[in-house]
Amino acid sequence: MLEQFQAYINRYHLIAEDEKVILALSGGIDSMVLMDLLLKAKVEFVAAHCNFHLRGEESNGDDWFVRKFAEKRGIQCFVKHFETEKYATNHGISIEMAARDLRYGWFEQLRQELGYDKIAVAHHADDQAETFFINLLRGAGLNGLKGMKPHNGVIIRPLLWASREQIRKYAVENHIVWREDHTNVESVYLRNRIRNQLLPVFDELQPEARQGLYKSLGHLSAENELYRALLKEKLAQIVERDGEIQRLPYSKIIKAEVPEPVEGPTYSFQLLFEWLRQYGFNTDQCHFIFDAIGTGVGNQYCSTTHRLVIGRDELQLFEIKEDSNDEIQIEIGEEKILSPVHLCFSKLEKTPDFVIDKSPIIAQLDFDKLKFPLTLRRWRHGDRFHPFGMKGSKLLSDFFVDQKFSEYQKQNVWLLVSADDDILWVVGYRIDDHFKIGNDTKTVFECRWNRP
């Protein structure tokens, strides 16, 4: 087994000769076997144990066992205690997910503190099979069904090739001691039910059933790699970038060249989904977006990081800024101040030789007509102002149409408004005619937009 272990490491370049490793050591049979193999392969490593306090004294027993074993073998061991149930409750996630977040977060923190290279975890081939069925039941696509990789960034899985049976046989033959987790035989969690109830039935279907499953998972992984590479090329051809905006013209997705015998709508939706999923949009949102193409102009859909807007002939995607919904109040003094949207303010005396600056990035207003404090805010439906040079008022939405604003521009424009919410300036575009400088103006309030 040691030869297979070293061959697998070399095949996937998991551990270079001079790299140092953190071993996730639970005390169970899998991680104890992995530790034995690392020792025999002469890999430099330290152990890291998580006490999640989920099994009472058993958790403390694992803690004591790992510490004593590492001490006996001269292995440096780090132990971290977590309030896992509290973390799960506070974050609204399952206990399993909480434990995963906590352990990998701490492993990475420890790796950086120690200056180590890799984090080794003891996932094996049967874990792959269980993960496959978990994701299958959850409706996963190719990316979810392919299973875990031998390496994912700094996370490495040197035992991913070995079955649970191989690992147990090696442990017995090499007199390796380990701690049994009684919850592994309890069919409480979905993974345990698959392990204890589904896979035994699967084994009865035909001889070597699991070996066939392992091979299929390998094929899925390879096919997924090819799919991702081709998808990246395709998206680069159809998604246009304009500064911070990404645009997907309808003509490039609805009328995309569809390879036979794939049906058009399915092919087009998959392209849309693969584009948006990387920005946090889920499957349901993508279905809503796809159905709204051409009919839901102005509709918006948000992930935690991005906003997508349905345009007349394209989809527009842009990142949500941290201050995108903030209203920023500005107290104006004698000195220039810099606001969070790169505005610089100052008061100027209107002298006889004063010349009005007509640049769209500068607004010069009659100071005595203003009501303070002023506020910077985003536009709202129903906003109306009197564009400079016009006699009547205009809906801001109509002004945007006249100026041929993109959806991105509309969502990112700032308004400078007075204390009674009169729009003074559509920042960077037009001031309100009521607040312009006139013959009677004595003091000029100047706003300058320093484009980021």
Question: What one-character DSSP code corresponds to residue 166?
Answer: H
- Residue-level pLDDT at 326: 55
Q: Both tokens of residue 340?
A: 């969070």
pLDDT band at 338 (very low <50, low <70, confident <90, very high): very low
- Residue-level pLDDT at 450: 66
- Residue-level pLDDT at 406: 80
Residues 84 and 95: beta-carbon distance below 8 Å: yes
Q: Round to whole Å and give the CA distance between 341 and 81.
A: 44
In 3-state terms, what secondary structure has residue 142? helix
Residue 244 region by backbone torsions, left for phi larger than 0, else alpha for psi between -120 and 50, else beta? alpha
Q: Indicate the average pLDDT of the chain.
A: 87
Whether 26 has a pLDDT exceeding 90, the answer reads yes
More confident residue, 358 or 255: 358
pLDDT per residue as tens digits for the range 211-249: 888 888 888 888 988 999 999 999 999 999 988 889 999
Mean pLDDT of 55-75: 92
- Residue-level pLDDT at 405: 87
CA dihedral 346, 349, 352, 357 (to 10 degrees): 10
At CA 132, angle to CA 261 and CA 125, rounded to 5? 125
Q: Both tokens of residue 264?
A: 């058009």
Which whole-number Å values give the CA distances from 397 to 103, 393, 404, 421, in the listed order?
50, 12, 11, 17
Whether 340 has a pLDDT exceeding 60, the answer reads no
Residues 161 and 8: beta-carbon distance below 8 Å: yes
Closest C-alpha to 306, from 377, 245, 254: 245
At CA 389, angle to CA 387 and CA 391, rounded to 5? 80
Closest C-alpha to 105, from 181, 177, 48, 162: 48
Q: Round to whole Å and give the CA distance between 108 and 99.
A: 14
Question: What one-character DSSP code corresponds to residue 368?
Answer: G
Mean pLDDT of 21-37: 95
pLDDT > 70: percent of the chain = 90
Place of tokens 């998206």: 235
- Residue-level pLDDT at 331: 59
User: Which of 21-35, 82-96, 148-162, 418-432 shows the lowest per-residue confidence on average (mean pLDDT)?
Assistant: 82-96
Residues 36 and 132: beta-carbon distance below 8 Å: no
pLDDT per residue as tens digits for the range 318-334: 887 655 455 666 655 44
Packing angle, helices 2-11 and 29-40, rounded to 10: 80
Whether 440 has a pLDDT exceeding 80, the answer reads yes
Q: Both tokens of residue 232?
A: 């990246």
Taking every pair of Cα atoms in the chain, the longest distance, rounded to a whole number of angstroms, is 99
Q: Round to whole Å and give the CA distance between 11 and 9.
A: 6
Q: Look up residue 372 and give its amino acid.
A: F
Whether 336 has a pLDDT exceeding 70, the answer reads no
- Residue-level pLDDT at 256: 47
Whether 300 has a pLDDT exceeding 80, the answer reads no
In sequence order, which residues have a C-beta less than 8 Å from that of residue 330 and are 6 or more positions away? 337, 339, 345, 373, 374, 375, 376
Q: What are φ and ψ of residue 446, in 5° steps?
A: -110, 130
Q: Round to whole Å and give the CA distance between 372 and 394.
A: 24
User: Which of 9-23, 201-215, 259-273, 390-404 shows the lowest per-residue confidence on average (mean pLDDT)?
Assistant: 259-273
Whether 189 has a pLDDT exceeding 80, the answer reads no
Count Cβ atoms below 10 Å from residue 238 Cβ, excluding itself.
16
Q: Both tokens of residue 435?
A: 């607040």
Residues 36 and 176: beta-carbon distance below 8 Å: yes
Mean pLDDT of 272-287: 89
Q: Which of the listed ranges 66-75, 178-187, 323-332 does the model predict with the highest average pLDDT?
A: 66-75
Q: Both tokens of residue 6?
A: 């070293």
- Residue-level pLDDT at 369: 95
- Residue-level pLDDT at 335: 42
User: Which residues, listed in sequence order, are joined to residue 240 by a DSSP beta bridge?
Assistant: 247
pLDDT per residue as tens digits for the range 93-150: 888 889 999 999 999 999 999 999 999 999 999 988 888 998 888 888 888 888 888 9
